[in-house]
Amino acid sequence: MTNTKRLSVRQLCFIIITLFSVSKFYVLPAFVSGLSKEAGWMATSVNFALDYLILFACLIAVKNTDKTLYESSTEIFGKPLTNLTFILYAVYFIIKAFVPLLEQKNTISLTFYDSQPTLLIFMPFFIVAFYIAKKGVNAFSRSVEILLWVFALALLIIFALSIPAGKYQALLPFSQPPSRVFKGFYGNLIWFGDPVIVLFLGDYLTEKKKLIKKCTISFIISAVITISLIVVFYAIFDSIAERQYYAPIKMSKYSITLSNIGRLDYLGSILFSLISIYSITLYLLLATEIVNKVFKFYNNNFFVPLAITTIEALLIFFFQNEIFTSIAFVQKYFQPFFIVMAYLLPLVFTIATVIWKNKRRQNVQAC
């Protein structure tokens, strides 16, 4: 079946800038502050450095093949192992969406409702997720063209209201024990590992000119935005930062500007929530694409996206009020799985792709 789905390098860069950042804005700043205190921004910087190595590897793999990821993997590793790995990635993306979705639900509940709303209030998310997962990469890539500007406006609002309220001496001293940095780095891992997404989105790129350069710049922008948010967050809250979850709705409420113009920060929170919907939906979209490839379903079928969004909705239904217990559970039982899927397997595939390409070139020259 001909692949009619398209993604430009520009759209991929927009995904990296916006969606790689926004999923880390809610619980991560408080969480890493509890683990690393004023060294939280350093721990997060190490996470981004590791993620860039994986991003670079994924981009090398994408540039070194003219086939889809599934076809290349089948050619190198065989169909049974490829199918098993792809199914594990579908499971990975479903679990990967779980914690950000709980964060999103709790943020909306705390920001816009006086009392805890029923889960039915959050059901429109799953309708949107189902629609985008069914429509596929085309619909998603067109939407992300607008998201960057929404993201920029939300950042402008939150940072403009938050930066003046910070006491930046709280970040001193800059020399921190490596153990404190490592503790935060390891504890942060479930919020990172996004570059593996590029490996799957590479199937839909219409061209690859300056791919590595453009994606590297986009990733640096994403990292700077996220680290800056953590710096400002800790400068505002200092020793109580570890208790200030859902950063976008907490950081800017102390601005004296709000006393004159009202809760403008709510607009920033609404915009971040809108972007987060797409960030989470991307995982469900990729899980749908993977199942379609492995089981040879048509890309516009109804059943697979419905099944995946239903599974995610059931997870949220059963664990909707247990976000911190859920984070601890995922870290305890799924973190090794996350490390393998997000870091180890992309490296293995990239190395195998380069070796396979060189081997084919040598065989052609020998002939």
The whole-angstrom separation of Cα 113 and Cα 72 is 49
Q: In the prediction, which pLDDT does 18 show?
A: 93
Kindly provide the b/e burial profile for residues 318-333, where b requires at least 16 CB atoms within 10 angstroms of the residue's own CB: ebbeebeebbeebbee
Residues 6+ apart with CB under 8 A from 295: none
Residue 205: strand, helix, or coil: strand
Measured over the CA atoms of residue 207, residue 212, residue 216 and residue 219, the dihedral's sign is: positive
Regarding the domain delimited by 9-366, which CATH topology (the fold level of the hierarchy) does it fall under?
Amino acid/polyamine transporter I (1.20.1740)
Q: In the prediction, which pLDDT does 317 show?
A: 83
The whole-angstrom separation of Cα 139 and Cα 300 is 12
Closest alpha carbon to 48 in 179, 227, 229, 196:
227
Measured over the CA atoms of residue 62, residue 66, residue 70 and residue 76, the dihedral's sign is: negative
What is the full DSSP assignment across 61-90?
Answer: HHHT-SS-HHHHHHHHH-HHHHHHHHHHHH
The whole-angstrom separation of Cα 182 and Cα 149 is 34
User: Please, are residues 157 and 25 in contact by the beta-carbon 8 Å criterion?
Assistant: no
Residues 6+ apart with CB under 8 A from 174: none
The whole-angstrom separation of Cα 6 and Cα 265 is 36
Q: In the prediction, which pLDDT does 97 show?
A: 93
Domain boundaries, the chain: 9-366
Closest alpha carbon to 235 in 174, 166, 176, 173:
166
- 3-state SS of 127-164? HHHHHHHHHCHHHHHHHHHHHHHHHHHHHHHHHHHHHH
Residue type, 311: I
φ/ψ (deg, to 5) at 320: -60, -30
Residue 7: strand, helix, or coil: strand
User: Please, are residues 127 and 313 in contact by the beta-carbon 8 Å criterion?
Assistant: no
φ/ψ (deg, to 5) at 196: -60, -25
pLDDT values of the chain reduced to their tens digit, one per residue, 367 residues? 345 568 899 999 999 999 999 989 999 999 999 999 999 999 999 999 999 999 999 999 998 888 889 999 999 999 999 999 999 999 999 999 999 988 888 887 776 665 655 566 777 888 888 988 888 888 888 888 888 899 999 999 889 888 888 899 988 888 888 999 999 999 999 999 999 999 999 999 988 889 999 999 999 999 999 999 999 999 999 889 898 888 888 887 766 555 455 567 678 888 888 898 889 999 999 999 999 999 988 777 889 999 999 999 888 888 877 788 888 999 989 999 999 999 999 999 999 998 887 777 776 666 5
Q: Alpha helix (H) ranges present in 166-210?
A: 178-187, 196-201
The whole-angstrom separation of Cα 351 and Cα 326 is 35
Q: In the prediction, which pLDDT does 214 show?
A: 95
Count of CB atoms situated within 10 Å of the CB of 50 = 17
Count of CB atoms situated within 10 Å of the CB of 277 = 19
The whole-angstrom separation of Cα 25 and Cα 100 is 10
Residue 260 CB burial class (10 angstroms; 0-12, 13-18, ≥19): exposed
> In Å, how far are 28, 169, 178, 325, 336 from 40, measured between CA atoms?
10, 14, 12, 22, 22
Q: In the prediction, which pLDDT does 358 show?
A: 79
Task: Retrieve residue 318's tokens.
Answer: 């059963």
In which residue are the tokens 């804005």 written?
25
The whole-angstrom separation of Cα 298 and Cα 292 is 7
The whole-angstrom separation of Cα 303 and Cα 8 is 28
Residue 359: strand, helix, or coil: helix
